[in-house]
Amino acid sequence: MSDSVLRVSDLDVDLHLGGKRVRAVAGVGLEIRRGETFALLGESGCGKSMTALALMRLLPDVAGIAGGQVRLDDEDILQRPEALMRELRGRRMAMIFQEPMLSLNPVMTIGDQIGEVLTGHLGLSGAAARTRTIELLTAVGIADPQRRIREYPFQLSGGMKQRVMIAMALAGEPELLIADEPTTALDVTIQAQVLDLLRRLQAERGMSLLLITHDLGVVANMAHQVAVMYAGQVVESGSCEQVLQRPRHPYTRLLLTALPEITGSNQQLATIPGQVPPLDGGIAGCRFAPRCAWVRDDCRSRAPVWQGELRDGVRCPHVAELAPLPEQLREPMARPLHVGPPLLQVQDVQVHFPIRAGLLQRQVGAVKAVDGVNLAIAAGQTLALVGESGCGKTTVGKAIVRLNRLTAGDIRYAGQPWASLDGEALRRQRSQVQIVFQDPYASLDPRMRVADILMEGMASLGVGGSSAERLARVDRLLDQVGLPAAARWRYPHEFSGGQRQRIAIARALAVEPKLIVCDEPTSALDVSVQAQILNLLRDLQTELGVAYLLISHNLSVVEYLAHEVAVMYLGRIVEQGEAKAVLKRPQHPYTQALLSAIPRVDVARQPQRIQLNGELPSPADPPTGCHFNPRCAHADRLCRQEYPPVTVADGREVRCHHIVQTGGAYVPAPLKPALGGDDAISKLPQGPA
């Protein structure tokens, strides 16, 4: 039997759009060996997901395989009739799709959906299928599986839905599992749990894993072999260590230099100008040439050929001649810390949402989304609010911009009451505080051109003078955020994700605010686009002195952008202080667990994972005592009885009984490795630990 479980040769995929033929995947070659994790890396639009769908023969109607071979063991599955492909899918090859909520059937219970796979591929039904379903849910770490099999997808958290997708994919006991962005937009703790789970199941079953992602940290911690895609082609392939530590192709080099983790907080992030080229334009020469910092004349006229072996090669003839990254892409950046009176003060803020039941809809409880939060932000400063989904971060942000009503507490802007303003008084001050929402596509009106989107706020709040003056201001705003003036007459759908986020930032800046709430501004963006947005935010802060409340679960982004950090758990702040102090010397057990879960490209700096028990409790019924105690490995009786007071330790505020007792920094006891730790990894082929 061959050592390869999957071998792909010269795979071409065409899209037929509006009478045009577009080659979305061009000559892709891959080899995945038994028991290894093979990562397919690249920006959105590079053809990663299209390649995966082609391997499974699940292409949309407008797409078709134009050539090549896909050999599973020794069989070319492209020659199989569709009826026989149904036997193979789910049984020998299975796929975890990028968005579990769109992939799970909303009108079927979890048990029925997994049961379908068991019946179709293993012939199990009735009690046998139910027993196996419970075993699968237990294997993927879902608590109380007997109850969960009767629930529907909307009753599960994002992390639990992703685990259900993994259970469905594993139900047929496949030889190869394809995971398409399995952790995109998940919190770092949930992401770590999902990756640990995949690693452990892979070790137990000897399964091969094709991991599709744009997250370089995930690649570094999971993959043994890496292939980098750009514009439908594989441009570099090699071992994980080779590709991430000694990248050869210019595109791979620039991707790595765009990471905040590698660049450091005092340097401008390297960015890749432009975007992935449209594939319907008849590309001549190297596809990366228009964006390459090392481009030569022959790159624009002659398409590069693959050099090297299938699993160790590069698509660039100038690798040996490439100089270090040009210094102008790594300019130092000033980080002025503005010291002065707070621009915004959040004092003991509570936001509770009523729970109603019965015919008369009487209130029977409340969801305590925010339960006594204190924050202060100075002009020109960035305060990052971090924590898992459901902890109340976005609710705090919406309360600050007056999109949520306060249950209790007070918010003051420039020393004046803010939360109590209404009517004309609020209208006069509304321009001072703006928000950039997490999803720019959902927050921009698809029926309005960019100019109308930017001028709408100006006209409503009386900013900018006449229509002609406002239109001139639109051009200046677009220039500020790095977009051409011609973009003002286009619609949101005509822009990339990063460009739409720039438009959302321009809309916030249009009314000259002093404070902007940035809600996950780089969530699910490619690292190159993320670098552009982070550079933009820092440039604007330096130029305009604007303050940011940065809401994020990406702690590498927080480390790069923030002056101060507040860590939030179940509606309350558990640790707050200067960013470097909190991120380099965390004292609260929850902060330590968050930081340990960040997958780093430099695996030598990867701390031992602190495994959190269970998931975030419900804010409708928070635990007694310290809210973190059910998940904390160091909780004692006091933690379960009393909520800890604020303690000032090492220059920051922390809520932890252990600091109160010891009077010093929190020192965690040795913990067991997380699932998929050293024992599990030792069973895998040579790769990262």
Check which CATH number belongs to the domain holding 265 and give it: 3.40.50.300
- Residue 360's pLDDT is what? 87
Query: Which residue type, as a one-letter code, is found at position 478?
Result: L
- Residue 680's pLDDT is what? 30
Cα–Cα–Cα angle for 562, 564, 565, rounded to 5 degrees: 90
Strands 652-654, 93-96: pairing is unpaired
CA distance 462 to 4: 66
List Cβ neighbours of 378 (8 Å cut-off, separation of 6 or more).
338, 339, 340, 341, 342, 343, 547
Task: Provide the residue range defining the domain that includes 206.
Answer: 4-278
- Residue 265's pLDDT is what? 60
- Residue 679's pLDDT is what? 32
- Residue 670's pLDDT is what? 36
**Structural domain includes residue 24:** yes
Instruction: Single out the residue of 225, 173, 217, 221 nearest to residue 199, CA to CA.
Output: 221
Q: Which residues pair with 355 in a beta bridge?
A: 365
Number of domains the chain is built from: 1
**Structural domain includes residue 69:** yes
Instruction: Single out the residue of 204, 196, 52 nearest to residue 672, CA to CA.
Output: 196
Cα–Cα–Cα angle for 391, 521, 210, rounded to 5 degrees: 85
**Structural domain includes residue 465:** no
**Structural domain includes residue 226:** yes
**Structural domain includes residue 572:** no
**Structural domain includes residue 92:** yes
Residue ranges, the chain, pLDDT below 50: 327-330, 332, 334, 660-689
- Residue 424's pLDDT is what? 87
Q: What is the pLDDT of residues 302-348, one digit of tens each?
A: 999 999 999 999 999 999 888 776 544 445 454 555 557 899 999 99
> At 20, which helix (H) or strand (E)?
strand 20-33
**Structural domain includes residue 125:** yes
**Structural domain includes residue 251:** yes
CB 521 within 8 A of CB 550: yes
- Residue 266's pLDDT is what? 64
Phi, psi of 17 (to 5 degrees): -125, 120
